Amino acid sequence: MNIRAKTISVIKRLEEVYPPIKTALNFETPFQLLIATILSAQTTDVQVNRVTPELFRKFPDSASMSKANIREIERIIRPTGFFRVKAERLKQVASIIDQKYEGRVPQSMDELLKLPGVGRKTANIVLSVAFGKIEGIAVDTHVKRVSGRIGLTRNKDPEKIEKDLMTITPRNLWPHISILLILHGRNVCYARKPLCERCVISDCCDYYARKSPAGKR
């Protein structure tokens, strides 16, 4: 099986296991999705979803968040970790969107990457989920780990991993492979002690073939 066929097989099998989902983050507007995704760095979506109801109730848009007291933002988002840095970034992003983009989140990769705290992962999620634009593949720690174990990439750098996955995955499946690998990483392919005996793709996984006696070929 060549690498492209392997990739498509992995996607199809994981689609049978995990229900259709675009993102686990709760939001109502593109701006709220952007803020929630920035907050998700170095924490879980579950933790982000615990703080955003109060955050978005008090500061639902760029205008209100740009004028918010930064100490109040810090208080609300503290459970997500690195709250001082994140609060400053949220204020900066809100101010830029409010002043430069008249309150509307930009819809291009180049413009999103100019915002403080926004990398390709965040930009890809916002473009795909909020605007239906497919410009790349969001690579987080789960995508990095699972794609490497399966053998879809040998790179460690997220941008190089993204390029590898974009090369071997049909463009219409780019959003699918990202969320499927994330879900699989959260539920089965743990960083420590992955549940290979429960994995539906173990027979085509390089890690399983290398580490498990049952998987050696």
Domain regions of the chain by residue span: 3-20+137-211, 30-131
DSSP 192: S
Tokens representing residue 61 in the block: 């848009």
Question: Which pLDDT score, from 0 to 100, does residue 217 have?
Answer: 46
Residue positions counted in the chain: 217
164 as an active site residue: the answer is no
How does residue 214 score in pLDDT terms, banded at 50, 70 and 90?
low
Q: Which CATH architecture has domain 30-131?
A: Orthogonal Bundle (1.10)
Average pLDDT of the chain is 95
144 as an active site residue: the answer is no
Catalytic residue among 133, 140, 163, 206: 140
Taking residues 28-40, report their average pLDDT.
Answer: 97
User: Given the structure tokens 């740009």, which residue do they identify?
Assistant: 66
How does residue 211 score in pLDDT terms, banded at 50, 70 and 90?
confident
Please determine, for residue 216, whether its predicted confidence score (pLDDT) is greater than 60: no
Fold of 3-20+137-211: Endonuclease Iii, domain 2 (1.10.1670)
Taking residues 53-57, report their average pLDDT.
Answer: 98
| Span 68-85, pLDDT tens digits | 999 999 999 999 999 999
DSSP H helical ranges for the chain: 3-17, 30-39, 45-58, 62-66, 70-77, 83-100, 109-113, 120-125, 131, 141-150, 158-168, 174-187, 206-211
DSSP string over 62-111: HHHHHTS-HHHHHHHHGGGSSHHHHHHHHHHHHHHHHHHSTT----SHHH
Whole-angstrom distance, CA of residue 166 vs CA of residue 160: 10
Catalytic residue among 121, 156, 206, 216: 121
